[in-house]
Amino acid sequence: MKRLLVILSIVLIMTACKENDPDIHKTWAERLGFPRGSRVLILHADDVGMNHEANTAAQSLLENERIQSAAAMVPCPAFEEFTNWILNNPEVDLGLHLTLTSEWSTYRWSTVADSVPGLLDEDGFMWHEVADVVQHASADEVEKEIRAQIENAVSYGIQPGHLDTHMGTLYGRAEFAERFLKVAEEYDIPALVIEFTSEILDRLRSDGINIPDDVVDITAEYSLPKVDDFYAVPYGATYKEKKQNFIDLVQSLKPGITEIIFHPNHDSSLLRQITVHWQQRIWETDMFHDTEIIQFLANEDILFTDWKDIMARFRSINRTDQ
């Protein structure tokens, strides 16, 4: 009985400490010094380095400051091409889209690391599906590969501004997420981690994105900054519909830092060969050059940020607290 009372007392003390934590009910925007109630947005291009046209599409958006951030896929054929551009544009927030799958039917890539057989299919390429990686790969192999991708980028002179995960693979299993966040903390490079409130978890799960409870527990212990919410640019059957769906999404955003990802690409025969969704990727390039969208974003009560700014704010606050 005495032991039980001690345990209950510890639990109550820990709960009280959490409730008294001044940051516990704040958004990450507030914690990082943005005004209370601010809607802070990162427009983020994924899949840079996948092919030449993905590179040129992202470059045009970054050069014209239509978006704030991008992430490149180290194992892909056009990654080295993009490094030549980014080295001449070091102010750009470029992250790494850590890649453990090769999803297309005819356009494939392999691992950066050697001796990671669990990450390779019978043809010597990365698996098509996340479920295959979860089934066949070990956590050690996953960690070895993501470290190899980071070190490969660094060898070109790139200092990644953040890390995220292609197709969400690194959140497919708790052991993968644990290694992912450990590596991010070790390199002091922020990972794309969402503050998983019950509301966000309910929304993601209703959309068919199941975040296991043990993964949520692991992210709760993560020590670098997070975002408050996360979306992909919505599908549209027409360009007009796609724009309106994006406008509706932005207008629905709540206070906090939200990242919205999309996959820009210029039209080419290769892109049309790679994916049946080639039109969506072209529209996602055109949309952010569209004067209607540019004006809409300028008129909305939104602040923009990127991962470099997020980490600068985080480090400044930590120095002040010490």
CA distance 14 to 46: 39
CA distance 277 to 163: 25
Give me the residues paired with residue 120 across strands.
126
Query: Hey, what domains does the chain have and what are their CATH numbers?
Result: 30-321 (3.20.20.370)
Q: Which residues of 123-151 are buried (b: 16+ CB within 10 A; e: fewer)?
A: eebbbbebebbbeebebebbbbbbbbbbe
Tens-place pLDDT, residues 202-232: 998 888 888 889 999 999 999 999 999 999 9
Tens-place pLDDT, residues 240-254: 999 999 999 999 999
Identify the pLDDT of residue 68: 98
Tens-place pLDDT, residues 304-315: 999 999 999 999
Positive/negative CA dihedral, 203, 185, 153, 89: positive
Helix axes 278-286, 52-63, angle to 10 degrees: 20
Give me the residues paired with residue 191 across strands.
163
Identify the pLDDT of residue 7: 38
CA distance 270 to 162: 29
pTM: 0.91
Positive/negative CA dihedral, 38, 164, 242, 211: negative
Residue 273: count other Cβ atoms within 10 Å of its Cβ: 13
* Residue spans of the chain under pLDDT 70: 1-24, 320-322
Specify the residue for token string 């809409």.
296
Give phi and psi for 115, each to the nearest 5.
60, 50
Identify the pLDDT of residue 25: 77
Contact 55, 88 (CB under 8 A): no
Quick check: helix, strand or coil at residue 262? strand
Q: Residues near 220 by Cβ (< 8 Å), separated by ≥ 6?
A: 196
Identify the pLDDT of residue 18: 47
Identify the pLDDT of residue 17: 45
Identify the pLDDT of residue 3: 46
E strand segments, the chain? 39-48, 69-72, 94-98, 163-165, 229-232, 256-262, 303-304
Residue 185: count other Cβ atoms within 10 Å of its Cβ: 14
DSSP class of 155: H
CA distance 199 to 64: 35
